[in-house]
Homo-oligomer: A and B are copies of this chain.
Amino acid sequence: MHQELSPRAQRLRDAGHKLTHARLTVLRVLEESGREHLTSAEVLERVDGLDSSIGRASVFRALDLLTSLCLIRPTYIESSLTPKYVLLPDGHHHHIICTNCHRVIEFEDCSLDGLRAELEDRLHVRLTGHLLEFYGLCEACLEADQSV
């Protein structure tokens, strides 16, 4: 029963929330999804696969809670229709979205530490994570049509 807790689970508990089966299962699904971007429907489906006794409402409640703690972030990618839940793994997440074909290209490094320090200093805030999205044209779309 007592596996070691993931850092995110610890943050949940530290913020005063109970580590319930439903919440830990949602977290596990998201953490096991790796670099995938899951929609709420996909999270529901996978949670159901792991334990069909967990109710839909609890999954939504868990997603809301994780979002409010900025442990995950709903964002609109891959066909602006439904939000996808993106883990904010070690506090940051970056991607490029092609305006034309809506492909998502992830990249690792971002040089935002300087900006973060400056904002913390100037605005008297403490910043722990970020999401950075670039919009533009991917290589394929650039080649396919120079006029797009």
Contact = CB atoms under 8 A, between A and B. Distances in A.
A128 interface: yes
A131 interface: yes
Interface of A is mostly: mixed
A129 B125 contact: no
Number of copies: 2
Contacts of A123: 96, 105, 107, 139
Contact of A126 (B73, B119, B137): B137
Contact of A142 (B70, B124, B132): B124
Interface stretch (A26-34, A35-43, A61-69): A61-69
Given A83-B76, A111-B114, A127 B88 contact: no
Max count, chain B CB within 10 A of own CB: residue among A69, A112, A123, A125: A125
Contact of A127 (B110, B111, B134): B134
A130 interface: yes
B70 A97 contact: yes
B134 A102 contact: no
Contacts of A138: 125
Nearest to A124: B139
A73 B76 contact: yes
A80 interface: yes
A114 B81 CA distance: 32
